[in-house]
Amino acid sequence: MTMSLPKFIASSVVRGDRRVGSHGGVYTIDFEKQAVDKIFDLDDSEIDFKGGSGDRGMRGIATAGEDILVASSDVLFRCDPKFEIKTFSRNHYLDDCHEICEYDGKIFLTSPGFDSLLAFDLESKTYIWGFHLVRQYDEWAGHTFDPATDKGPVAVNDYQLNTVHVDKTGIYFSGQNTNAMLHLDNDMQVSEICSLPAGTHDARPYRNGVLFNDTSSDCVRYAGRNGESLAFKTEAFDESDIDFADVEDADTRRQGFARGLCTVGDRFVAAGSSPSTISLYDFESEQKVGSVNLSLDIRNAIQGLTIWPFDNV
């Protein structure tokens, strides 16, 4: 039986501090047709954006009903499937947002600039919850706060929180400097699920283990509780084909920077890398299904990635 390949929506950012050239955008990627459509371009918009990490562009992406939710550094946008902006919501405690996810009518957002997570209620269109992560006496802890008040944490970025995943078992989150995937239960207790390499992005529970972008090693990696492991190297191009855009920073010049991750059931995983490329992997056959490249500008990297849920758009 032939299975049709999925369609994805992805955001890209431009890594580094140089403020010239492309500012990234939002794309749909149809693996079946090997087609890319840029549905939103920051170069053509009047959005005022900033990037505390130096990266600029659109960040995490999630879908809810007929809406697409996409974050910039400090704004959550709510758009229709044609990417017409319906509403946008700022909050003082949202700074340098990376990934977001939807669960039970709420959007959960990472806020590295405050070592925090935020929750936005889609019905009331307000930020209703915040959690600030701390480490005390070698133990993870934290406290909740109301993001609608001025009683929250001060700006601090010790852990570079970049990933949040929420399901019925709780909130899972991690950062480049946590060196672990953390779990927040209903009693707001933080526990360490597993260790992670430094620099990890997009960690989440998957199958009987954890799936993540091992960014420092330029690969997407799965580690199972029973010792099972699997890794796929990111796409690599001939350097003569890459536009290095006079970039001098060694990390920004590196192709293969792994970020952006999306699961398709328990079999397929889509992962992003730089220059902006999305690759689809089959965990059953342990093979790469294919890759689609969006840009050969080395600064241009995938950030957010999720399944496109709209059949007729």
- Dihedral sign of CA atoms 29, 35, 39, 42 in order: positive
Per-residue pLDDT of the chain (313 residues; tens, 9 = 90+): 456 788 999 998 887 655 444 556 899 999 888 889 988 766 544 454 444 444 567 899 999 999 999 998 899 999 998 888 899 999 999 999 999 999 999 999 999 999 999 999 999 999 999 999 999 899 999 999 999 999 999 999 999 999 999 999 999 999 999 999 999 999 999 999 999 999 999 999 999 999 999 999 999 999 999 889 999 999 988 888 888 766 666 566 788 999 999 999 889 999 999 999 999 999 999 999 999 999 888 888 899 999 998 876 5
Query: Which residue has 């400090």 as its token pair?
Result: 74
Task: Judge contact between 152 and 142, C-beta under 8 A.
Answer: no
Torsion of CA 288, 217, 54, 211, to 10 degrees: 60
Whole-structure pTM value: 0.92
CA dist 96 and 298 (Å) reads 21
287 by Cβ neighbours in 10 Å (0-12 / 13-18 / 19+) ranks as exposed
User: Hey, what domains does the chain have and what are their CATH numbers?
Assistant: 7-307 (2.120.10.30)
